[in-house]
Amino acid sequence: MFTKFLLPPAAARIGWWLSIPSLVLMFAVIHYDFHFEFLEFSRAGADQKFFDEDFLWTLKSNNFTDEIGTILLLSGLILISFARQPDEDERIAQIRLESLLWAVLINTLLIILCTILFYQILFLQVMAYNIATTLLLFVTRFHGILYFERRKSVSHDE
Amino acid sequence: MMNNIRVERAILNITQAELAERVGVSRQTIHAIENNKYVPSTILALKMAQVFNKPVEQIFRLESTD
């Protein structure tokens, strides 16, 4: 856990810079149909179709705002999640593992709940959120615990 | 598991932060161990025993629930 899979602590800062703007971007894409004109792609002579081809290499036209946003958001969240803490030790490694288990469990329970409650486009939106929710839950819990512990122990050093 | 790290620290007159630095962990970890919220690994327990210059059994004790 100390070296395997973990990135240098500086990776977290890059991660925050990547993921906060792309989280806002993806929110705008999902709920307000936002897209950048310069990411519009169309093969010569191709008409805009609702049901286009399935693959990148056969696609006729597409706006790549959501793809770029998803990749930036996931890359940012991975950098935050897998950055070693400056004071990483065995107990932080344990909090990391517990948070990962917690995030997967809560995320799965939420999906089951949403599968029962939501249908049609709303369910697709939930699935779009689901691309990032496991990592978001993990980052929130892991950094939340570390933040509160650090605050507590600063006032309790004896 | 019970421990008397707080007492041993008082004998050596060192703070949680100083002990943390000597055994190579964060201060929060020492805080959590002292308050019985975290059970250290064997390596960390042995390192602490080394700092206090005592056998590990004199610092850590099993409880009936362990």
Q: Which of A91, A92, A157 sits opposite B17 (nearest CB)?
A: A157
- State the amino acid at position A84 in one-letter form: R
Contact check, Cβ <8 Å, B25/A91? yes
pLDDT tens per residue across span A71-86? 999 999 999 999 999 9
pLDDT band with cut points at 50, 70 and 90 for residue A150: confident
A145 burial (CB, 10 Å; 0-12 / 13-18 / 19+) is middle
Record: contact A150-B31, CB cut-off 8 A: no
Query: Which two three-digit tokens encode residue A10?
Result: 């500086």
Nearest alpha carbon to residue B29 among B21, B12, B38 = B38
Q: Which of A89, A156, A158 sits opposite B29 (nearest CB)?
A: A89
A37-54 pLDDT, tens digit each = 999 988 876 666 667 788
The 10s digit of each residue's pLDDT in B5-43 is: 999 999 999 999 999 999 999 999 999 999 999 999 999
SS3 letters across chain B: CEECHHHHHHHHCCCHHHHHHHHCCCHHHHHHHHCCCCCCCHHHHHHHHHHHCCCHHHHEECCCCC
Region A89-113: mean pLDDT is 96
Q: B36: phi > 0 → left, psi -120 to 50 → alpha, else beta; which? A: left
Distance separating alpha carbons of residues B34 and A77, to the nearest angstrom: 33
CB contact under 8 A, B26 and A158: no
Q: Quick one: pLDDT band at residue A1, thresholds 50, 70, 90?
A: very low
Calculate Rg over the CA atoms of chain A.
20
Distance of CA A22 to the CA centre of its chain: 9
Q: Which of residues 4-63 of B touch A (CB under 8 A)?
A: 6, 15-17, 24-29, 31-32, 38, 40-41, 44
Total Cβ atoms within 10 A of residue B56: 14
CB contact under 8 A, A157 and B28: no
How high is the pLDDT of residue A85? 93
**Residue A96 one-letter amino acid:** R
A147 near A85, Cβ under 8 Å?
no
